[in-house]
Structure 1
Amino acid sequence: MSSYRELARTPGVGRIIAAQLTARFPSGMVSLGLLIHVEHLTHSYAAAGIVLAAMSIGQAAAGPITSRWMGRWGMRPVLTLLTALYATTIAVLALAPLPVPALIALGLIAGVSTPPVQSAVRTIYPKMVNSRQLGALYSLDASLQEIIWVAAPVLVTFLALQVSSVVALLVISVIALGGGAWFILSPEVGRVRIPRSRTALGRVLRKPTVLLTTGIGVLFIGSAAAIEAGVVAAFGEGGVESGLVLAAYALGSLTGGLGSGGIPMSRWSAARRLVIVAIGSALTLVWVSNPFWLAFALFIAGVGFAPALAVMLAGTSASVKFSETAEAYGWINTGQLIGAALGSMAAGFAIDGNGPVGAYIVSIAMVVGAAIIAAVFHRAFPDLRHRDASPIPDTEQLPVIT
Structure 2
Amino acid sequence: MSGYRELLRTRGVGRIIAAQLAARFPGGMIALALLLHVEHTHHSYGAAGTVLAAVSIGQAVAGPVTSRWMGRWGMRRVLVLTTAVTASAIAALALVTAPLAVTILLGLVAGLASPPVQSAVRTIYPKLVPSSQLTALYSLDASLQEVIWIAGPVLITFVSTQVSTVVGLVMIVGFTLAGGAWFILSPELGRVRIPRSRRSFGRVLLKPTVVLTTVLGFLLIGACSAVEAGVVASFGEGAVESGFVLAVFAVGSFAGGLAFGHRPMAPWSMARRYAIVAVGIALTLVSLDAWWMGGSLVIAGLGIAPALAMSFAITSASVKFSETAEAYGWIGTGQLIGAALGSAIAGFMIDGSGPRGALTTALAFALVGVVVAVVFVRAFPDLRHRDASPLPDTEPVQTQP
Counterpart position of 1:349: 348
Q: In the aligned structure 2, how far is the partner of 1:108 from the partner of 1:400? A: 52
Counterpart position of 1:51: 51
Counterpart position of 2:86: 86
Q: In the aligned structure 1, how far is the partner of 2:100 from the partner of 2:143? A: 38
Counterpart position of 1:155: 155
* Structural mapping, 1:92-241, within 5 Å: 92-241=92-241
Shift in Å, 1:398? 5.5
Question: For residue 43 of structure 1, what is the amino acid of its counterpart?
Answer: H
Q: In the aligned structure 1, how far is the partner of 2:285 from the partner of 2:302? A: 18
User: What SS class does the counterpart of residue 174 from structure 1 fall into?
Assistant: helix
1:61-87 deviation per Cα after TM superposition (whole angstroms, max 9, x unaligned): 010000000000000000000001111
Shift in Å, 1:54? 0.5
Question: For residue 129 of structure 2, what is the amino acid of its counterpart?
Answer: V
1:136-164 deviation per Cα after TM superposition (whole angstroms, max 9, x unaligned): 00000000000000100011111111000
Shift in Å, 1:348? 0.4
Q: TM-score, normalised by structure 1?
A: 0.98
Shift in Å, 1:401? 9.3
Shift in Å, 1:110? 0.3
Q: In the aligned structure 2, how far is the partner of 1:76 from the partner of 1:346? A: 38
Q: In the aligned structure 2, how far is the partner of 1:99 from the partner of 1:191? A: 45
Shift in Å, 1:219? 1.0
1:32-67 deviation per Cα after TM superposition (whole angstroms, max 9, x unaligned): 001110111110111111111011000000100000
Counterpart position of 2:367: 368
Q: Identity across aligned pairs (percent)?
A: 67
Q: In the aligned structure 1, how far is the partner of 2:361 from the partner of 2:10? A: 42
Question: For residue 231 of structure 2, what is the amino acid of its counterpart?
Answer: V
Q: Please say if 1:339 is aligned against 2:335.
A: no
Q: In the aligned structure 2, how far is the partner of 1:398 from the partner of 1:273? A: 42
Q: In the aligned structure 2, how far is the partner of 1:336 from the partner of 1:206? A: 19
Counterpart position of 2:284: 284
Counterpart position of 1:270: 270
Shift in Å, 1:237? 2.6
Q: In the aligned structure 1, how far is the partner of 2:200 from the partner of 2:207? A: 13
Counterpart position of 1:37: 37
Question: For residue 157 of structure 1, what is the amino acid of its counterpart?
Answer: T
Q: CA RMSD in A?
A: 1.1
Q: In the aligned structure 2, how far is the partner of 1:216 from the partner of 1:262? A: 22
Shift in Å, 1:2? 2.5
User: What SS class does the counterpart of residue 303 from structure 2 fall into?
Assistant: helix
Contact 1:142 1:309 (C-alpha < 8 Å) held by counterparts: yes
Q: In the aligned structure 2, how far is the partner of 1:108 from the partner of 1:45? A: 18
User: What SS class does the counterpart of residue 313 from structure 2 fall into?
Assistant: helix
Counterpart position of 1:70: 70
1:165-213 deviation per Cα after TM superposition (whole angstroms, max 9, x unaligned): 0000000001000000000000001110000011111100110000001
Q: In the aligned structure 2, how far is the partner of 1:400 from the partner of 1:182? A: 47
User: What SS class does the counterpart of residue 384 from structure 1 fall into?
Assistant: coil
Shift in Å, 1:379? 1.2
Contact 1:277 1:303 (C-alpha < 8 Å) held by counterparts: yes
Q: TM-score, normalised by structure 2?
A: 0.99
User: What SS class does the counterpart of residue 286 from structure 1 fall into?
Assistant: coil
User: What SS class does the counterpart of residue 392 from structure 1 fall into?
Assistant: coil
Q: In the aligned structure 1, how far is the partner of 2:130 from the partner of 2:51? A: 43
Q: In the aligned structure 1, how far is the partner of 2:397 from the partner of 2:179? A: 41
Shift in Å, 1:216? 1.0
Shift in Å, 1:383? 0.2
Runs of 4+ in 1 over 6 A off after TM superposition: 399-402
* Structural mapping, 1:245-260, within 5 Å: 245-260=245-260
Contact 1:3 1:261 (C-alpha < 8 Å) held by counterparts: no
Question: For residue 370 of structure 1, what is the amino acid of its counterpart?
Answer: G
Question: For residue 313 of structure 1, what is the amino acid of its counterpart?
Answer: F
Q: Which 10-residue stretch deviates more, 1-10 or 150-159?
A: 1-10
How many aligned residue pairs are there? 401
Counterpart position of 2:295: 296
Shift in Å, 1:217? 1.1
Q: In the aligned structure 2, how far is the partner of 1:254 from the partner of 1:219? A: 19
Question: For residue 128 of structure 1, what is the amino acid of its counterpart?
Answer: L
1:366-385 deviation per Cα after TM superposition (whole angstroms, max 9, x unaligned): 10100110111011111000
Shift in Å, 1:400? 6.6
Question: For residue 6 of structure 2, what is the amino acid of its counterpart?
Answer: E
Q: In the aligned structure 1, how far is the partner of 2:192 from the partner of 2:23? A: 18
Q: Please say if 1:396 is aligned against 2:382.
A: no
Counterpart position of 1:16: 16
Q: In the aligned structure 2, how far is the partner of 1:398 from the partner of 1:40? A: 63
Contiguous gaps of at least 5 residues in structure 2: none
User: What SS class does the counterpart of residue 365 from structure 2 fall into?
Assistant: helix
User: What SS class does the counterpart of residue 285 from structure 2 fall into?
Assistant: helix
Q: In the aligned structure 2, how far is the partner of 1:86 from the partner of 1:3? A: 37
